[in-house]
Structure 1
Amino acid sequence: MSSFALARVARTRALPVARRAFFTTSLRRTSGPEHEETFEEFSARYEKEFDQVQDVFELQRNLNNAFAYDLVPSPSVITAALRAARRVNDYPTAVRVFEAIKAKVENKTQYEQYVEELKPVREELGVNLAETLYPEGVPRP
C-alpha cells in the first residue's frame, strides 16, 4: 500500500464522539409565575400589531394568530384589522374577516351585532359582506 492510500484510510477513520447528556440538570430561569393575559391586554396587543402591519403577510399572520384563541376579537381589534387590510390594499382579506367572525361567534345574533357595530367602518372603507357579494343561491367562485 502506498503512503497516499494509508493517509486516506487514516483520515476516514471515525473519531470518538464526546458523550453528551440528553437532558440538562440546570434550572430554567423564568420571570415568575405564568401571566394570564386579560381580554383588554389581548385587544390592546392586537390593535398595536395591526397598526404596525406593512404587508399582506403580516396582516394574514396577525389575523390567524388573533382568531386562533378561544375568543372572538373585540370590535376595536377588527376595526384595526380592517384598516390594516385597506392600508395594504387587500380587499379579499377584509371580506374574509367577517367570514371569520361568523365562524367564530356562537350564534347568528352575535354575528349580526358585530356587523351592526362595525357598519360605519365597513362603509368608510367600502368593505362588503360575503352575503352581499354572493347572495344565497349564487355559487361562489
Structure 2
Amino acid sequence: MVVTAATAALIACSSGGGGHATSGAPAPSSRAQQSVEEGKPSEPIGVSAGGVTTRIDVPAESTEEQYAQACVAAKKWIESQGGDPATLVEPMLKELQAGTEPGPATFNSTWAQLSTAQQAAVIIAVRAAAQAGC
C-alpha cells in the first residue's frame, strides 16, 4: 500500500499534475512494484534468531570517553570468556541487553535507559572489541 501511494505520488509529480494523481494514470506493473520493494532499506534494527539486537542503523552517539570505556569493558569480558572473539559478540550483547545493573559497557546505564543512538554505539564498541579495535 505504501509502495502504491509512493508510486502514485511520483507519477503525479513527474506528470506535472500539480501534485494530484490523475484517474487516467496507469497502475504500476507488478515488476515495477517489486523493484521498488527490493530497493527499500531493511529494517533499522536487526535482531538475531535468539532475540538479541545485533544491529541498529542510526548514527551512533557517545562521547569518546564513553566509547573507549565500553570498548575496554567489552574487551575484558570477551577475554574472560575465552575462545573466538567473533563468536562472543552476540552473547555479550545478550548479557548487556538483559542486564538490570548499569555498567561501563553501557555508559554506566542499563541498556533500556540508553537511546537508540547510544545502543548503536554500544554495539559498535562490542564489535570493535571483538576485532581487537580498542
More strand, by proportion = 2
Which TM-score applies when normalising by structure 1?
0.21
Greater RCO (Cα-Cα under 8 Å, separation 6 or more): 2
